[in-house]
Structure 1
Amino acid sequence: MSQDIAKYFHQRGRYNEAEALLIGVLAQREQATGIGKDHLNTLGTVHALADVYMDLGKYDKAEEFFGRALAGREKQIGPDHVDTLTTLYRLAYLRYLQHRYDGAEELYTRLLEKRKVQLGAEHLDTIEALEGLAHVYRSQGKLDDAMTFYKRVLAGHENQRGSEHPYTLTAMSNLGELYREQGKYDEAEPLLARVLRSRETQLGMEHPDTLFVVHHLASLYKDQGKYDEAETLYARVLAGYEKQLGAEHPWTLVAVHNFAVLRDGQGRWEEAEELYRRALAGKVK
């Protein structure tokens, strides 16, 4: 029951509450007679806790727990079991968040090939692996490859899950952000605005996933020179991240840096310097 409640908290962006519950569940399962550290139920809790650590920006802890879950599942149920591959998928995403792109690419490619063979090219799990590889290509500057994959991913989610499913909205947001990075602002803005409306309705104004899209829109307005609109959105993002994720979370620090770039562009150099220093100090810790 506690793990179900933790999942509820996690899905709603209440990561600290989810973490506290899962730590308790894990301790109980590790000590329980007939279960122990290597039981599949215990490994499921380890995986869930790793996911929460990742969303909290505690990447070292996430890596430790994903590694434990992966090794345990490979031993207990084999390297090709669906649960093992789910852990591999999340570990690949962690590598991406850590900017370890070569490692992420290797894991995503391995996962993609396994899922194609087991499930087929159009299965949703295969599409999710393709999406992860698109993230890596985008970060490596392989924008044409990333664009091709993002469009395939969006089409797959829309066809199988519908236009308002959270995964479809994430795919739409990723495509919109790539358009922004390429300077295709007319294509980017309607996609991001549509995603934001849906996120606000489904998740609320302060959910981290909602704020993530607000952040993309703020960057779009900054790039277009719409500094007043960008300022309003960056302020919302920064306040929301600080409240929901904390001042030292990687997403918060990225928002601080981007706000500094905006202030720099506005000629408000003292404020820009203060924000730059804050972002740098946070990354050094």
Structure 2
Amino acid sequence: MAGATPAGRGKEPVRQSNPGALAPSERQHAVFKAEQLALRLLSAGKLAEGGELLLKVLHGRRALCGPEHADTLATVHNLAALRHFEGRQEEASDLYELAVAGRSRTFGQSDPRTLASIGGLASVRRQQGRFAEAEEMYERALCGLEREVGSKHPETLTVLTNLASLHKMQSNFEAAEKLYSVALEGREEMLGSNHPDTLSTVFHLANLYASWGRLDKASSLYDRAMRGFESCLGESHPDTLSSMNNLANLRATQGEYEQAERLYERALSGFQSKFGADCLFTLTAINGYAGLRKQQGKLDVSEGLYRHVLQGRLKLLGAGHPRCEQTRQALVSVLLEQGKHDEARALESQETSGDCSRAPTCPCGRQSSAATDVP
């Protein structure tokens, strides 16, 4: 999640009661201004509002410029990035494939814009668990970008960071650490230590150390990322909430349950208000909170939360996805601890393909809470 929100700057769009009466050049300018506003909304974490406007911009660009104009393809790429960030991977895949194909024909396969879309598609494949495809695409994009724009260009560093995340997901921790460190050094040099992209790399490096068991390093980096995001983006921005959630995960691992609970509840409240109860990010948050409740011995609460997460993840990610499997195993463990052996065996036999319709409505507010890693 952190660092993934499409960003942009711009002034307020031109508002017309009858856009069809505008001259072509005026319509193009109105669409441009609308896109700038959409990207600004997305950068502020207003995903629903920004996404709706960006979709209208795409329709406008196709009508005004054609489907393979540079500006149209840029909008397709931005919308794909948003869908990926929202966890809507099938839509993101279709859009990125459209962007890659269109940019390859329009600009060539080695153009930085084409390579950026290939890198985006690689991130979708990573989230789909298609690691071999993702790695091949990342390597292709990285080699091309280093050749075309240099090793410290922002797009190159983005692909480098995402390749590191792939290695982290595969438990190749040393390889991931090396790539994250190179990306962090480059972003600090080019952007400064408090730029959102720099803080995004700090966040990902913290995730790595947490997975690796190097908790002291992870703690200081999560704290740096959370405070930095809160300062530059605001306390309710998704990147701030992601850092807060993952710091809560860490505190729970360290046995600091009261601090973990406070962080989880702040993060979950923010995610639910921005994304709703069934978004992938909110589900990831609930998953963490379910783990805390299990550690506290509140097994019935933990069971209900895990059921909700599993049902939601199956719907969004599909059976067989690693995150569905992780939640299923956690739910099985909670059932066994409660002596519900028949239910646990039945759930194990489903292999994440069964119905978890017993899941309750997503708990909100004070009663239950939790937050997210990168989707």
Q: How does 1:179-194 map to 2 (within 5 A)?
A: 179-194=251-266
Counterpart of 1:75 (choices 127, 139, 147) is 147
Provide the TM-score with structure 2 as the length reference: 0.70
Distance in 2, Cα, partners of 1:51 & 1:278: 28
1:69 deviation in Å? 0.9
Letter in 2 for 1:43: L
Provide the TM-score with structure 1 as the length reference: 0.91
Q: Compare 185-194 and 123-132 and name the one that shifted more.
A: 123-132
- Structure 2 residue 161 is the aligned partner of structure 1 residue 92: no
Distance in 2, Cα, partners of 1:229 & 1:58: 33
Q: Does the Cα contact within 8 Å between 2:314 and 2:352 map onto a contact in 1?
A: no
- Structure 2 residue 199 is the aligned partner of structure 1 residue 127: yes
Q: How many residues align?
A: 279
Distance in 2, Cα, partners of 1:267 & 1:167: 39
Q: Does the Cα contact within 8 Å between 2:319 and 2:352 map onto a contact in 1?
A: no
**CA distance 1:116–1:29, change in 2 (3 Å):** closer
Distance in 2, Cα, partners of 1:267 & 1:260: 11
Gaps of 5+ in 2: 1-71, 354-375
Distance in 1, Cα, partners of 2:135 & 2:275: 28
Q: Deviations over 1:211-252 (max 9, x none)?
A: 000100111111111111111111100000000000111111
Partner of residue 234, structure 1:
306
Q: Deviations over 1:103-155 (max 9, x none)?
A: 11111112222223333333332222222221121122111121111111111
Partner of residue 196, structure 1:
268
Q: Does the Cα contact within 8 Å between 2:100 and 2:118 map onto a contact in 1?
A: yes
Letter in 2 for 1:84: T
Q: Does the Cα contact within 8 Å between 2:154 and 2:187 map onto a contact in 1?
A: no
Is the partner of 1:247 in helix, strand or coil? Answer: coil
Max radius of gyration: which structure?
A: 2
Q: Compare 174-183 and 14-23 and name the one that shifted more.
A: 14-23
Letter in 2 for 1:25: A
- Structure 2 residue 99 is the aligned partner of structure 1 residue 25: yes
Counterpart of 2:296 (choices 215, 221, 224) is 224
Q: Does the Cα contact within 8 Å between 2:194 and 2:228 map onto a contact in 1?
A: yes
Counterpart of 2:337 (choices 265, 271, 275) is 265
Which is helix-richer, 1 or 2?
Answer: 1
Distance in 2, Cα, partners of 1:3 & 1:113: 27
Distance in 2, Cα, partners of 1:26 & 1:271: 46
**CA distance 1:258–1:87, change in 2 (3 Å):** same
**CA distance 1:231–1:159, change in 2 (3 Å):** same
Partner of residue 116, structure 1:
188
1:279 deviation in Å? 5.7
Letter in 1 for 2:212: Q
